[in-house]
Amino acid sequence: MHPQVERTLEEVRRRNPGEPEFQQAVVEVLSSISLAVERDPSLADHSLLERLVEPERQILFRVPWVDDSGTVQVNRGYRVEFNSALGPYKGGLRFHQSVNRNIIKFLGFEQIFKNALTGQSIGGGKGGSDFDPHGKSDWEVMNFCQAFMTELARHIGDKTDVPAGDVGVGEREIGFLFGQYRRLKNRWETGVITGKGLDWGGSQARREATGYGVVFFARDMLRNRGDDLEGRVVTVSGSGNVAIYAIEKALQFGAKPVTFSDSSGWVYDPEGVDIELLKEIKEKRRGRASDYVAERPSAKFHAEGRPWSVPCDIALPCATQNELNEEDAKQLARNGCVIVAEGANMPSTPEAIHIFADAGILFAPGKAANAGGVAVSSLEMEQNAARARWTFGEVEGQLAVIMSNIHRSCLETAEEYGKPGDYVVGANIRAFLRVSDAMHAQGVF
């Protein structure tokens, strides 16, 4: 590794103790960047790397709210505004009990590079809370969202920082958050948050964008080796927004998605997932993965293990970070899997990624493969700024083009840096060059 990169990594470890996921994300990105800095050491001038790994601003706040029994609950709110060299901070809000500063920093760091890859004018940020909406009533979720936005509102704006959804934050939460922002500011500022409902400033195809984008990306990977999705068996983890629409698009392309999961376990449906049933259970009833098998005789529910034991051609981890480990990767390789494309953020452990490389499995990191969600968020911002409403077809068409561009630029960059077919190196270097050019141009900040 280039000595300057090595020194930056040591500093990151020293200054961010007890933040393993943040360190993991930085190590992965800087290992690739090292190749670029070796070729052109001026990229690291003026402590650029040291600035890159330090958020521009970190906001940590108390979120007191009243539950249905009249008890005051206290959660923690976070917003990490990581890098605004390319545009306003942009990235989702995650509501989950596992959220802490480490998780939000890792997600915010990844977001810088993901957003750069889209080619759009968006910086990187992320936020959230250790509040878990599961099992809460709609009133409790509303009370929480209003309390959360009461503080967040002073930090965000359509030209400053534009949140969206992530794990635990869907259209319901975005509605409550936007409503509170509007109430506080007395402004119809739709561009302040994305993932809105269609009648109040949302974009067609935003809900579908991340999952569809992952499958567009996987299709490009296959096509690049003269192959196609038709008839391919696909394993998917998760059953949120990303997983559901990855399954839907895989079905539209003639592939056979056979698994999904949630925190209670996973489902294997060898006949292919019934997407309408899955949507009904997850989106309408807010039910569990196990509810699916009660209505679908071909399917089996497993409380233990993970979908990666099922033989497949393509694996799409769409649940959460570090959900696919070395053992899972070995099993995928043994079963003949040819492609892994990440729908979640950093779902594969570093050990798993090494196994993919050794086994010749093509691997697309989340910052490339799942960039479709934030890309359509940026299209939502464009529509809001122009007071325009585009059709589903128009947005989906633009999404497909953006995903193809990301795919191509990853491959071109990997080739240029002597790592043909390495999507990790391609994505990290391509994104870094865009961000570092902008940072150098704008002076020390």
Q: Which one of residues 87, 91, 128, 201 is an interface residue with ligand GLU (CB under 6 A)?
A: 91
Q: Give me the least distance between CB of 125 and ligand GLU, in Å please.
A: 9
Q: Record the tokens describing residue 436, joined without a space.
A: 């570092």
**Catalytic (active site) residue 249:** no
Of 92 and 211, CB closest to ligand GLU: 92
Query: Could you give the angle at which helices 101-117 and 20-39 cross, rounded to 10 degrees?
Result: 30
Stretch that binds ligand GLU, among 89-97, 128-136, 328-336, 430-438 (CB under 6 A): 89-97
- The span from the CA of 338 to the CA of 356, in Å, is 9
Catalytic residue among 90, 105, 126, 256: 126
Residues 6 or more apart in contact with residue 401 via CB below 8 angstroms: none
* Closest distance to ligand GLU from the beta carbon of 162 (Å): 7
Residue at 40: amino acid letter: D
Gap between the Cα atoms of 216 and 210, Å rounded: 10
Nearer to ligand GLU (CB atom), residue 49 or residue 104: 104
> Residue 347 Cβ, how far from ligand GLU at the closest point, in Å?
12
The separation between the first and the last C-alpha atoms of the chain, rounded to the nearest angstrom, is 26
> One symbol per residue from 114 to 133: x for binding ligand GLU (CB under 6 A), - otherwise; what is it?
x-------------------
Smaller CB separation from ligand GLU, 35 or 316: 316
Q: Helices then strands (H, E): number in the chain?
A: 16, 14
Residue whose C-beta lies closest to ligand GLU? 92
User: Tokens standing for 431?
Assistant: 């994104």
- Residue number with CB closer to ligand GLU (347 or 426): 347
Q: Which of 250, 374, 403, 425 binds ligand GLU (CB under 6 A)?
A: 374
236 lies in the binding site for ligand GLU (CB under 6 A): no
**From candidates 257, 343, 373, 426, binder to ligand GLU by CB under 6 A:** 373
Q: Can you list the alpha helix ranges (DSSP code H) found in 16-78?
A: 20-39, 48-52
Q: How many residues bind ligand GLU (CB under 6 A)?
A: 11
Asked whether position 377 contacts ligand GLU by CB under 6 A, the answer is yes
Smallest separation, CB 107 to ligand GLU (Å): 7
For residues 270 and 284, what is the distance between their CA atoms, to the nearest angstrom?
A: 24
> How is residue 324 annotated by DSSP?
B
Q: In the complex with ligand GLU, which residue's Cβ is closer, 114 or 407? A: 114
Q: Which stretch binds ligand GLU (CB under 6 A): 16-24, 43-51, 277-285, 373-381?
A: 373-381
β partners of residue 324: 348
- Helix ranges (H only) for 283-337 are 289-294, 326-334
What are the backbone angles phi and psi of residue 126, rounded to the nearest 5°? -160, 155
In sequence order, what E strands does 211-369 have?
A: 233-237, 256-257, 259-262, 265-268, 300-302, 314-317, 339-341, 362-364
One of 32, 190, 194, 436 touching ligand GLU (CB under 6 A): 194
**Residue of 12, 117, 164, 258 interacting with ligand GLU (CB under 6 A):** 164
- Tokens 């906001």 belong to residue: 59
What helix, strand, coil percent values describe the chain, rounded to 5?
A: 50, 15, 35
Mask for 197-216, x = binds ligand GLU (CB under 6 A) = --------------------
| Binder of ligand GLU out of 190, 235, 345, 384 (CB under 6 A) | 345
Q: Among 62-70, 90-98, 181-189, 411-419, which window interacts with ligand GLU (CB under 6 A)?
A: 90-98
Q: Residue 42: exposed, middle, or buried by beta-carbon count in 10 A (0-12, 13-18, 19+)?
A: exposed
How many CB atoms lie under 10 A from the CB of residue 143? 19
Of 119 and 312, which has the nearer Cβ to ligand GLU?
A: 119
- Structure-token pair, residue 225: 């080796």
CB of 110 to ligand GLU, least distance (A): 8
Are residues 128 and 95 in contact, defined by beta-carbon separation less than 8 angstroms?
A: yes
Indicate whether 90 belongs to the interface with ligand GLU (CB under 6 A).
yes
Quote the least distance from Cβ 92 to ligand GLU, whole Å.
3
Taking the complex as a whole, the smallest distance from the CB of residue 302 to ligand GLU amounts, in Å, to 27
Specify the residue, 194 or 398, whose C-beta has the smaller distance to ligand GLU: 194
Q: At closest approach, how far in Å is the CB of 231 from ligand GLU?
A: 30
Pick between residue 262 and residue 291 the one whose CB is nearest to ligand GLU: 262
Q: Is 254 exposed, middle or buried (0-12, 13-18, 19+ CB in 10 A)?
A: exposed
| CB-side neighbour CA atoms (13 Å) of 50 | 11
Which residues belong to the active site? Answer: 126
Summarize as ranges the residues that interact with ligand GLU (CB under 6 A): 90-92, 114, 164, 166, 194, 345, 373-374, 377
